Each structure stands twice: as structure tokens, then as C-alpha cells.
Amino acid sequence: MDLLTALHISTTGLTTQRMRMNIISTNLANMYTTRTQTGEAYRRKIVVMEAEPVEDFESTLRAQSELLYGVRVGDIVEDTTPFKRVYSPGHPDADESGYVSLPNVDVITEMADMLIARRSYEANVTAIGATKAMALKALEIGK
């Protein structure tokens, strides 16, 4: 694997984790949104990641089992867990029984996901730094 391929793989990780952080932020921002354009409470969104083969000249010469993979956002899906129901008869979005459906966003789950995304982002930044250091050392050899 050449250095540019290593950089490309780490870059796909950075892009994917940034998207994941954006979705987590959206979930936290809409934690108390009881009415969306569909008329129901906000549904938590989840980022689905999938492997993406790295396309370079060297990979076309390799066997299928030796391909290198980066990552990409495959889809953003809605969490199907049920809404939280809270008794609040004075709320404008309460049903005839007085219950309000609150979003299925859990702060603890979102914070845990945020920490995982942050650590993954940091790991990719570290890999880019190591690749950059290797390239600089290779240039010093030629001096």
C-alpha cells in the first residue's frame, strides 16, 4: 500500500465520523421535538456505515481477498424504538388521553456514540499524522 492510499483510507474514516457527529448533534438538538413535518415526534436517526473498496491502480492487480477497504456512510435510518409517552394533558400535542409522545432519543446513548465517534476521528487523525511522518522521513533519506 502506498502512502496516498493510506491517506485516502484515513480520510474516508474522518468523513464518516464527521457525518456521524452531525447526526448525533441533530438527535440531541431535537430531543424534545414533539411535532415534525410528519405530525409525530422526532425519530432518532442512526448512521449505517459500510466498507468501501479503495480504487487505485494497485488494487486492480490484487486478488479480491487482498483488497483494501475504507468506509462510507451507507444510509441514515430512523430508529424504530417506540416513543416515550409522558402524561401532560396541558401540552398542545397531547392526545385525547393526555399523553404526549416524546422522541426516542436517549442522552446517555447519544453521548456514548459521540465518544466513540470522537475516538474514531482521533484515531484517523493519528494515522494521517503517522503517514505524513513516514513520507517526511522517506524524503529525508534522499538528502
If you average pLDDT over residues 86-105, what whole number do you get? 93
Least confident of 18-32, 62-76, 121-135: 62-76
Rounded to 5 degrees, what angle do the CA atoms 58, 63, 67 make?
A: 60
Angle of the 107-141 helix axis to the 3-29 helix axis, nearest 10: 160
Cα–Cα dist 42/106, whole Å = 12
If you average pLDDT over residues 73-101, what whole number do you get? 93
Q: Model's pTM, two decimal places?
A: 0.84
| Length reported for the chain | 143
DSSP 3-state of 89: coil
Residue 99 has pLDDT above 80, yes or no: yes
Q: What total of structural domains would you count in the chain?
A: 1
Cα–Cα dist 57/40, whole Å = 50
pLDDT for position 10 = 93
Residue 117 has pLDDT above 70, yes or no: yes
If you average pLDDT over residues 92-115, what whole number do you get? 94
pLDDT for position 26 = 97
Residue 12 has pLDDT above 70, yes or no: yes
Residue 118 has pLDDT above 80, yes or no: yes
Dihedral sign for Cα 84, 88, 91, 93, please. Answer: positive
Cα–Cα dist 29/42, whole Å = 10
Could you tell me the residue range of the domain that residue 134 belongs to?
Answer: 3-141
pLDDT for position 56 = 65
Q: Which three cell numbers stand for residue 88?
A: 401532560
